[in-house]
Amino acid sequence: MPAIRLSGLTPLLIAFVVLFSAGAGDAIADDSGFTKERPLRFGISEFADFSVNLPIIPATVQVMKDLFGEDHVSVKTYSVANLQAAAKQGEVDVILSSAGTYRRLAIEGAGTYC
């Protein structure tokens, strides 16, 4: 049996959390509540070159697009300051960021964290 790398599971874990937190449960795609007009909104912080986080971002986004449909997912990359502002204003549903950015957002109360 091949070894399972946790980093390979990360997109699937994020997918599960999004489905659960969105109240979608078993529902995927059209039943998720995300539409072309109101997509699942990813806010991704800018990362430094060679960040260990970079490989999981496209994989995670692709899993979401596969689950919800290409038109039901929007992705936007923000500077850290702009991501913090977008989170506080409720303009993003899922945040992919560094641990430091996450911590700053949590301290400032920019959303609910699982």
Looking at residue 3, the DSSP 8-state letter turns out to be: P
* Token representation of residue 63: 């899993």
Whole-angstrom distance, CA of residue 83 vs CA of residue 63: 22
Residue 76 and residue 91: Cα distance in Å, rounded? 11
Tell me if residue 48 falls in helix, strand or coil. coil
Start-to-end C-alpha separation, the chain:
32
pLDDT, tens digit, for every residue of 15-47?
555 554 454 444 445 566 788 888 989 999 887
Q: What is the pLDDT of residues 51-110, one digit of tens each?
A: 887 888 888 889 888 888 899 999 999 998 898 889 888 899 888 888 888 788 777 766
Backbone angles phi, psi at 23, to 5 degrees: 75, 15
Running DSSP on this structure, what letter comes out for residue 32? Answer: G
